[in-house]
């Protein structure tokens, strides 16, 4: 007898996500898959029952917290809905969003975060949300009160042959890099229902016939020459109507910053992004008027200019370099103090430094004390053997003044020349002119010794020059 889906259990588990239940029914086309789906449903059902029996216990730190990733969309009864539609527990009330009239609906929009799927994007008086086509219920986790949205960006999608743009909607507390470790004792725990960024893509063409609905559909027709004009109008109008005057749509501008690297897919268009890695994940950096955004893989990171303490360049090699951004962290300690992006193309070094770091007055802390200490320690081990510099503080200030505005490679060459000059000064200090004439023949002996010292000094100079050349080869 062929295996059958345990429909009753599946419906109970996914009662608020009929789209998932329908997907399971469609995918359960073999006995092995049917058995797997039944086991998953039974396990989740048992976890829900256990959590209900014990209430909110220490299981919240264990598997019970992980079950939230299975999209079981339930708002706890104890979470009272606030005036802006959010709940006391940090989530969003689906009932509040569903109860409002849909002013504008744009169908079949491709989203890439927090979930990769096509949705209908809906605008109401107090909410922006996504819902599955044919459904009247918003998708849990993609419901955004207008007053909770802090940033919206309009950015071209990289490496596409046809022009496409991403809208990046960043709600409050969703975009700064946070630590993965558990919060320290006494620190406020991160809400498991915190909203994630919403990223959706629009083509350069006009909306398809019949894809626009809602009470304001006729008004929207006047601004529907393209998806971009439609969404710009809808987003700006909704924010203003909801009283959110601090948020506006920020677009990338090649006049403010663009990469010198030519795009293979659209060679006539200037790229406003730079390829960069965050750890092992590859992505794109956008240097925007209000901050630096890294996307479009999760977690999306945005670093506002007013939170950046300094931007420094590290690991400057022949073809690539890294940047480290130091942030003004909050008291909770959940935000990372520094975040590093790696493997940027060396051709974009000057553009980022001149057009962004210097333009926005960010402190270039490539000579920051902690990095400077590591560099000096390595240099001392190679040259002087770790001798202390009695005038290190004063010379450090003079060094910073003289190297201001130099690139990393120019600084390295300048430092090597300084070492050669210091060694020559030491040789001159060791020379004692009073030793000449103390005894007959001593002048000849001294001259011979000086010749020997000069010869040795020349060899040292040659060695140092070879070392500098060698460093250059390594960087190449």
Spatial distance between the Cα atoms of 317 and 354, rounded to a whole number of angstroms: 18
Tokens 């008004």 -> residue: 219
Report pLDDT digits (tens) over 392-443: 444 555 555 566 656 555 665 666 667 667 666 655 555 555 544 444 444 4
Are the C-beta atoms of 276 and 344 separated by less than 8 Å? yes
89-123: buried (b, 16+ CB within 10 Å) or exposed (e) per residue?
eebbbbebbbeeebbbbbbebebbbbeeeebbbbb
Q: How far is CA 414 from CA 4, 166, 352, 390, 455, in A?
A: 76, 44, 22, 21, 24
Are the C-beta atoms of 166 and 325 separated by less than 8 Å? no
Spatial distance between the Cα atoms of 341 and 279, rounded to a whole number of angstroms: 7
Are the C-beta atoms of 153 and 293 separated by less than 8 Å? yes
Nearest to 268 by CA among 284, 254, 252, 283: 254
CA angle, 123 then 128 then 133, to 5°: 70
Question: What pLDDT does residue 360 have?
Answer: 85
Question: What pLDDT does residue 16 have?
Answer: 76
Spatial distance between the Cα atoms of 362 and 346, rounded to a whole number of angstroms: 20
DSSP per position, 391-409: THHHHHHHHHHHHTT--HH
Which residues neighbour 67 within 8 Å (Cβ) at sequence distance 6 or greater? 44, 47, 48, 51
How many other C-beta atoms are found inside a 10 Å radius of the C-beta of residue 129? 27
- Taking the model in full, what pTM does it have? 0.60
Question: What pLDDT does residue 77 have?
Answer: 37
Spatial distance between the Cα atoms of 432 and 144, rounded to a whole number of angstroms: 80
Question: What pLDDT does residue 52 have?
Answer: 54
Give the per-residue SS3 of 129-178. EEECCCCCCEEEEEEEEHHHEEEEEEEECCCCCCCEEEEEEEECCCCCCE
- Token representation of residue 397: 């200030």
Q: In the chain, what's the furthest Cα-to-Cα distance?
A: 119
Per DSSP, the three-state class of 385 is coil
Question: What pLDDT does residue 58 have?
Answer: 43
Question: What pLDDT does residue 389 have?
Answer: 43
Are the C-beta atoms of 159 and 138 separated by less than 8 Å? no
95: Cα separation from own chain's centroid: 33
Average pLDDT over the chain, rounded to an integer: 77
Crossing angle between the packed helical segments 18-27 and 31-54, to the nearest 10 degrees? 150
Q: CB-based burial of residue 279 (10 Å sphere; 0-12 exposed, 13-18 middle, 19+ buried)?
A: exposed
Question: What pLDDT does residue 20 have?
Answer: 84
Are the C-beta atoms of 11 and 21 separated by less than 8 Å? yes
Q: How far is CA 126 from CA 77, 120, 237, 409, in A?
A: 22, 17, 12, 53
Question: What pLDDT does residue 318 have?
Answer: 93
Which residues neighbour 369 within 8 Å (Cβ) at sequence distance 6 or greater? none
Spatial distance between the Cα atoms of 201 and 156, rounded to a whole number of angstroms: 9
Question: What pLDDT does residue 286 have?
Answer: 97
Question: What pLDDT does residue 374 have?
Answer: 54
**Spans in the chain with pLDDT lower than 50:** 55-81, 88-90, 182-192, 367-372, 385-394, 435-449, 455-476
Spatial distance between the Cα atoms of 345 and 324, rounded to a whole number of angstroms: 15
Are the C-beta atoms of 72 and 48 separated by less than 8 Å? yes
């Amino acid at each position: 007898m062929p295996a059958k889906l345990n429909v009753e259990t599946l419906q109970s588990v996914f009662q608020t996500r009929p789209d998932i239940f329908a997907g399971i029914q469609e995918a359960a086309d073999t006995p092995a898959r049917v058995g797997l789906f039944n086991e998953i449903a039974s396990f989740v059902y048992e976890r829900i029952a256990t959590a209900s029996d014990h209430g909110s216990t220490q299981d919240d730190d264990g598997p019970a917290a992980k079950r939230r990733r299975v999209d079981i969309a339930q708002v706890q009864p104890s979470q009272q809905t606030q005036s802006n539609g959010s709940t006391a527990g940090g989530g969003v009330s689906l009932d509040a969003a569903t109860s409002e009239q849909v002013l504008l609906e744009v169908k079949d929009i491709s989203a890439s975060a927090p979930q990769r799927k096509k949705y209908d994007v809906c605008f109401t008086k107090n909410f922006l949300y996504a819902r599955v086509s044919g459904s009247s219920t918003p998708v849990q986790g993609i419901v955004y009160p207008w007053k909770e949205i802090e940033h919206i960006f309009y950015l071209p999608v990289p490496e596409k042959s046809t022009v496409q743009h991403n809208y990046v909607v960043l709600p409050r507390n969703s975009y700064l890099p946070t630590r993965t470790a558990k919060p320290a004792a006494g620190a406020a725990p991160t809400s498991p229902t915190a909203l994630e960024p919403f990223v959706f893509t629009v083509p350069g063409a006009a909306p398809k016939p019949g894809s626009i609905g809602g009470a304001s559909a006729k008004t929207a027709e006047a601004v529907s020459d393209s998806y971009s004009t439609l969404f710009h109008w809808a987003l700006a109008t909704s924010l203003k109507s909801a009283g959110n005057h601090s948020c506006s749509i920020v677009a990338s501008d090649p006049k403010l910053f663009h990469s010198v690297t030519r795009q293979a897919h659209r060679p006539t268009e200037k790229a406003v992004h730079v390829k960069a890695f965050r750890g092992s994940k590859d992505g794109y950096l956008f240097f925007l008027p209000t901050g630096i955004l890294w996307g479009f893989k999760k977690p999306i990171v945005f670093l506002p200019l007013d939170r950046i303490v300094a931007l420094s360049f590290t690991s400057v090699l022949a073809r690539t370099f890294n940047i480290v951004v130091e942030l003004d962290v909050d008291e909770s300690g959940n935000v990372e103090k520094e975040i590093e992006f790696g493997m940027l193309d060396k051709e974009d070094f000057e553009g980022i430094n001149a057009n962004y770091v210097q333009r926005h007055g960010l402190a270039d802390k490539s000579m920051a004390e902690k990095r400077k200490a590591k560099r000096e320690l390595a240099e001392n081990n190679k040259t002087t053997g770790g001798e202390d510099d009695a005038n290190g503080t004063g010379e450090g200030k003079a060094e910073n003044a003289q190297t201001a505005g130099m690139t990393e490679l120019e600084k390295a060459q300048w430092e090597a020349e300084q070492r050669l000059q210091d060694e020559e000064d030491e040789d001159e200090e060791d020379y004692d002119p009073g030793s000449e004439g103390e005894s007959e023949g001593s002048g000849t002996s001294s001259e011979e010794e000086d010749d020997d010292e000069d010869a040795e000094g020349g060899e040292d100079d040659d060695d140092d020059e070879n070392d500098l050349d060698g460093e250059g080869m390594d960087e190449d």
